[in-house]
Chains A and B, each alone.
Chain A
Amino acid sequence: MNTATALSTIDWVPVAPFIALSVLGFLIMLIGLYFPRIYRETLGTIALIGLAITFFLVLQNWGGPRYAFSNTIVGDKFSTVFNGLFVIGAALTILLSLNSQENRYVLYADYFTVIIFATAGMVLMSAGTHLLTIFLGLETLSIALYVLAGFRRENEFSLESAFKYFLLGAFASGFLLYGIAFVYGATGSAEIQAVTQWIQQNGLTGSWMLPVGFLLLFIGLGFKLAIFPFHMWAPDVYQGAPTPISAFMATGSKAAAFAALLRIAVGTQSYAALGWEQVLWIIAVASMTVGNIIALRQDNIKRMLAYSSIAHAGYILVGFIANNELGHSGMLFYLLSYTFMNIGAFGVISYLSTADHEFVTLQDMRGLAYRRPFAAIAMAVFMFSLAGIPPTAGFISKFYIFSAAVKAGYVWLVILGVINSMISLYYYLGVIVQMFMSATDEKAPVPAAQQPAVALALVVSIFAVLGLGIFPSRWLAVFMEMARSFI
């Protein structure tokens, strides 16, 4: 076949976001090479402009499905929504990284390049319709994150973080790849449509290899989701990684793993057929409970947020278990809200930290409201939202997910989820107590000077958290439409 004609028949729209991100990544890398003394603000602006263009390209995929590259990539409502989320997450992460104090020694061009590549990986994970495409995305994402986690090279925790994440991540990739092999072995294809057809014709019990394959796939993604019992790495990794990266991992990477999970389990309609609801039920409850209870005892806010992210993965899993339109759109709404509130919460830490002192323990936060009212109020908004109190996005998210679960008949799961929300309240309030109700320590460290870029990210997140909480209608409608097109 003539290469030229082959190229002309390709539908470029579904791949455009991925290509844009790749070009952007290389562009920033080259700029860094040729202009090593470029201001990081300039680099950040270029990255943000590039992300804005990508966002525009992402939106072009609304509708569909449009397949490209021999049915390995799709542009549909599902991928549009998820990719939009990833790009927003990446943009906020870049804003947080334009922190003038904390990452003083970081090589910004490399750093931004890797963030952009990680985002490209996420995009592949949500748009992939071939298991190998999804794997490719996951690896691109993971390798980028290993690098990012270790970016504070002078800090031993950062190195520990990177190494731990690398070892466990490689392990998880192994599971995923093995799972793909089993699915391929059973059905003769790794293309999601083909697998679906095979299941429709032969059923899941046709081959023992298929359930085993799905189990392995689930375990592989479970590591990325940081759900119980695959959550062990999260606290150490989040604690050691640069703060913006912790936020990026907790939101974007988790969302990407959920995208892949939905695409594989629900897209092939194997979830309903497998009948693993009971197991997932236990995993969801265990994730919430373990995350929340251990978070109660944390003095380090980054570790606390890590445990809380395990719990939140559990809540989101509730929407997955419900397995109805309400549940799937609820997951999306939750992930979007979570992106803002979690990046916001990490952002406040980043906003206050200096090169010498990471502003991360509860003691550091004492009396913050009287020293830095803006940071304290921002943190309070994010804490209330993470705790799920109206009128914030966190409330609507939980409400939506829980409604879906009740609708699917899981009343007890919801009651346990609600009890977990009560437990979590205690540690989220703990941060607020320290900031607003305790007097400042004499020896308290001095927070960083004003940092406009981080402040901008915080303001955007506050508006998003309150906006999604008070006027959720439009977004719920969009996600509902996505969920309907998806099943």
Chain B
Amino acid sequence: MTDFPILTTITVLPALGALALLFFPKESEKGQKLFALLVTLVTFILSIPIYFNFDANTSAFQFVERYSWIEALGANYYVGIDGISLFMVLLTTFLSPLIILSSWTAIRKSVKGFLVSMLLLETGMLGVFISLDLLLFYVFWEAMLIPMYFIIGIWGGERRIYAAVKFFIYTMVGSLLMLVALIVMYLYVGRETGNYTFDYLVFREYLLPAGLQTWLFLAFGLSFAIKVPIFPFHTWLPDAHVEAPTAGSVVLAGVLLKMGTYGFLRFCLPLFPNASSQFAPLISILAVIGILYGAWVAMVQPDMKKLVAYSSVSHLGFVMLGIFTFTHQGLQGGLIQMVNHGLSTGALFLIVGMIYERRHTRLIADFGGLAKQLPIFTTFFMIVTLSSIGLPGLNGFIGEFLVLLGAFQTNQILTVFAASGVIFAAVYMLWMFRRVMFGPVTHEENKTLTDLNLREITVLVPIVIFIVWIGVWAQPFLGKMETSVDNLIRLVDAKKTAVLQMNDQHMWARGDK
């Protein structure tokens, strides 16, 4: 069983599903949806054993597969996961069926195209998280843009074209600079070691000189920073979120943004440790600005979806802050917060989508007093809201607490500011909740709204289960990532010192002359 190429299977399966969908007759929309749901469900079920077979005692990559891909360049099809990517993979496979289910009635225009895009997107996202070959990573990283571009541009709202093109071009600008950096690194390491390869592990072992690290970090970092997005590179996000269909927003918030933070964890930190610690203060400050700025802007949004979008900027600020503390708690907090944000914000977008489907508006002012009409909806909305603001006992608390704990060890003042972000989050979320749910019913249309149906409940229940689970007993999650996180911190430290010594030796040699 251990030799079974499980990672390839779950990655390729959605793409094969997409291919099969192309041959479905156009009219059979229901059949297409059921088939897509089945494919994503099977993918999820296949991915569950990965969790149980994952050995938490080693930081080495597991479920590794390696085949030759482009021999002339030394690029391989090389995949595997460790404690850092494990939950990203699971989050992706977990959310995908829910997303398909959530768009059951919302998508009316060319259903087949939508499902095909979604399935291809899942393949792309999984590919990003499992790639251990940098060229392969880059291919997935870029290729994934195409389906997302179509999802926003075809099934989005009124200004969808603007949002889609902006999304694509912003992300591409970052990616192309990363491509140049990737080529430079590939050739540099190849020249020095005589081994031209895109193997991640080779780069991870190799000590790049500090000067080169700075440039490479900037190029890789910019690409990831746009994706996260870190303030001030976030302007594409509200547009993309607001215009995207619900399913698109969920994928975007749930998984796509995590690719940015994942990129920092996987590439920037271990490959450019000196540059990372050099830029850590700057990035921490930007992260805190993002936390506060996102929260403040969210507070004044009249549109629920835009509010949630800006709250993403704020939440991801926490993740970035945690990662760049280089502490055990900070990194673990950042990682778990990535999962949390995927669940909570994903669920928030789903909820906003559900109410939009009923009322065709997302303006907070158009609602009020929904609690009486929609008891089930209210319950879910409440749980998710509380999770998003980090109430103890729900998942958000664990992540933010760990991040702040880590940050406190490195910079107290910043931590104070960051912590105030938690309060602001409570302000904008609860304020929105009050305005939408409580008070008198001011609009006639709201009196006839129907509560959630079975399908919608089915979508939300699994997410809520995990929201509570992580909040109450996070050990099954934290335990699996512990060794990898520790190893990453050790590696960063060791490489940092080694590179500094290397520089000293150079200087020594020069002084000797």
Interchain Cβ contacts under 8 Å between A and B, 24 examples: A370-B110, A390-B139, A399-B183, A402-B180, A402-B183, A403-B187, A406-B180, A406-B183, A407-B187, A411-B184, A418-B176, A418-B179, A422-B176, A425-B169, A425-B172, A429-B165, A433-B153, A433-B165, A437-B164, A438-B161, A473-B70, A476-B72, A476-B73, A477-B71
Closest CB pairs A-B (n = 8): A476-B72, A390-B139, A437-B153, A418-B176, A473-B70, A390-B142, A406-B183, A390-B143
B150 within 8 A of A: yes
Specify the main secondary structure of chain A where it touches its partner: helix
- Closest chain A residue to B138 by CB distance? A390
Residues of chain B lying within 8 A (CB to CB) of residue A369: 110, 113
- Closest chain A residue to B184 by CB distance? A406
Q: How far is the CB of A213 from chain B (nearest CB, A)?
A: 35
Q: With A399-B183, A418-B176 known to touch, is A436 a contact of B150 (CB < 8 Å)?
A: yes
Q: With A425-B169, A436-B150, A477-B72 known to touch, is A414 a contact of B139 (CB < 8 Å)?
A: no
Query: Which residues of chain B in 268-325 are interfacial with respect to chain A, using CB atoms and an 8 Å cutoff?
Result: none
A477 to B169, CA, bound (A): 33
Residues of chain A lying within 8 A (CB to CB) of residue B173: 422
- Asked whether, in the complex, the Cβ of B139 is within 8 Å of the Cβ of A395, the reply is yes
Specify the main secondary structure of chain B where it touches its partner: helix
Q: With A403-B183, A415-B180 known to touch, is A473 a contact of B68 (CB < 8 Å)?
A: yes
Query: Which residues of chain B in 404-458 are interfacial with respect to chain A, using CB atoms and an 8 Å cutoff?
Result: none
Residues of chain B lying within 8 A (CB to CB) of residue A396: 70
A280 within 8 A of B: no
Residues of chain B lying within 8 A (CB to CB) of residue A350: none
Residues of chain B lying within 8 A (CB to CB) of residue A436: 150, 153-154
- Asked whether, in the complex, the Cβ of A437 is within 8 Å of the Cβ of B160, the reply is yes
Interface string of B154-165 (1 = CB under 8 A from A): 100000110011
Q: How far is the CB of A194 from chain B (nearest CB, A)?
A: 34
- Asked whether, in the complex, the Cβ of B71 is within 8 Å of the Cβ of A391, the reply is no
Residues of chain B lying within 8 A (CB to CB) of residue A426: 165, 169
A472 to B70, CA, bound (A): 6
- Asked whether, in the complex, the Cβ of A389 is within 8 Å of the Cβ of B146, the reply is yes
Query: Which residues of chain B in 64-104 are interfacial with respect to chain A, using CB atoms and an 8 Å cutoff?
Result: 68-73
- Asked whether, in the complex, the Cβ of B143 is within 8 Å of the Cβ of A473, the reply is no
Q: How far is the CB of A340 from chain B (nearest CB, A)?
A: 18
Residues of chain B lying within 8 A (CB to CB) of residue A112: none
12 more CB-based (< 8 A) A-B contacts, given A390-B139, A414-B180: A329-B72, A390-B138, A399-B135, A402-B179, A418-B179, A419-B176, A433-B165, A437-B153, A437-B164, A473-B71, A477-B72, A480-B72
A421 within 8 A of B: yes
Q: How far is the CB of B186 from chain A (nearest CB, A)?
A: 7
B336 within 8 A of A: no
Residues of chain A lying within 8 A (CB to CB) of residue B73: 400, 403, 476
Interface string of A412-432 (1 = CB under 8 A from B): 001100110110011001001
Query: Which residues of chain B in 222-272 are interfacial with respect to chain A, using CB atoms and an 8 Å cutoff?
Result: none
- Asked whether, in the complex, the Cβ of A389 is within 8 Å of the Cβ of B70, the reply is no
A157 within 8 A of B: no
Q: How far is the CB of B194 from chain A (nearest CB, A)?
A: 14
- Asked whether, in the complex, the Cβ of B72 is within 8 Å of the Cβ of A437, the reply is no
Q: How far is the CB of B466 from chain A (nearest CB, A)?
A: 33
Query: Which residues of chain A in 457-478 are interfacial with respect to chain B, using CB atoms and an 8 Å cutoff?
Result: 471-473, 476-477
**Interface residue ranges, B against A (CB under 8 Å):** 68-73, 110, 113, 135, 138-140, 142-143, 145-146, 149-150, 153-154, 160-161, 164-165, 168-169, 172-173, 176-177, 179-180, 183-184, 186-187
Residues of chain B lying within 8 A (CB to CB) of residue A480: 72
A384 within 8 A of B: yes
Residues of chain B lying within 8 A (CB to CB) of residue A384: 146
Interface string of A367-389 (1 = CB under 8 A from B): 00110000000000000100001
Residues of chain B lying within 8 A (CB to CB) of residue A391: 139, 143
Residues of chain A lying within 8 A (CB to CB) of residue B160: 437
Q: With A406-B187, A433-B153 known to touch, is A389 a contact of B68 (CB < 8 Å)?
A: no
A399 to B175, CA, bound (A): 13
- Closest chain B residue to A406 by CB distance? B183
Q: Pick the most buried of B72, B135, B140, B150: most chain A CB atoms within 10 A of its CB.
A: B72
A400 to B72, CA, bound (A): 10
- Closest chain B residue to A472 by CB distance? B70
Residues of chain B lying within 8 A (CB to CB) of residue A415: 180
Residues of chain A lying within 8 A (CB to CB) of residue B110: 369-370
A340 to B146, CA, bound (A): 20
Q: How far is the CB of A474 from chain B (nearest CB, A)?
A: 9
Q: With A395-B142, A437-B160, A437-B161 known to touch, is A418 a contact of B169 (CB < 8 Å)?
A: no
Residues of chain B lying within 8 A (CB to CB) of residue A433: 153, 161, 164-165
Residues of chain B lying within 8 A (CB to CB) of residue A399: 135, 179, 183
